[in-house]
């Protein structure tokens, strides 16, 4: 088990990295705005001596959190669209319904 993870590490997969990926990781190792942004998004500081595995794990955790947020936002937008459709349907039905006083003589 890695000492800096809060859960047991169950496997260590190989990860192909491009030259661009290597440059981006090097940027995240230095005190840069990108590293500060990663720390804010992760909700915790990224240690200066972070291992490559820890850095990649942090990036994965941030990416997965953003994916979950996107799914939730889309779900809420879909619910809102459904509710809007239901409301307009109720209004249309109400417009077609004769008023309560229509049959009075």
Count of domains observed in the chain: 1
pTM of the model: 0.67
What's the mean pLDDT in 19-42?
Answer: 94
The answer to whether position 41 is within a domain reads yes
Rounded CA gap, 57 and 54, in Å?
Answer: 5
Q: Does the pLDDT value for residue 1 go beyond 60? A: no
- What's the Rg (C-alpha) of the chain? 26
Q: Give the range of the structural domain holding residue 64, as residue numbers without chain letter.
A: 19-96
Q: Which of 47, 67, 69 is nearest to 58 (CA)?
A: 47
Is residue 44, in this structure, part of any structural domain at all? yes
- Per-residue pLDDT of 33-72, as tens digits, reads 999 999 999 999 988 888 899 999 999 999 999 999 999 9
Position 6 confidence tier, pLDDT thresholds 50, 70, 90: confident
Burial level of 26, CB count in 10 A (0-12/13-18/19+)? exposed
The answer to whether position 59 is within a domain reads yes
* Alpha helix stretches (DSSP H) within 1-105: 19-29, 33-42, 52-96
Tell me the per-residue pLDDT of 73-101, one tens digit each, with 9 for 90 and over.
Answer: 999 888 888 888 777 777 777 777 777 77
């Amino acid at each position: 088990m890695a000492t800096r993870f809060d859960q047991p590490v169950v496997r260590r997969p190989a990860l192909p990295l491009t030259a661009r990926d290597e440059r981006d990781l090097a940027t995240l190792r230095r005190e840069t705005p990108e590293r500060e942004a990663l720390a804010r998004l992760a909700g915790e500081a990224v240690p200066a001596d972070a291992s490559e595995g820890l850095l990649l794990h942090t990036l994965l955790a941030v990416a997965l959190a953003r994916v979950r947020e996107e799914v939730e936002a889309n779900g809420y937008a879909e619910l809102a669209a459904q509710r809007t459709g239901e409301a307009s349907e109720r209004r249309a039905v109400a417009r077609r319904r004769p008023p309560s006083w229509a049959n009075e003589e």
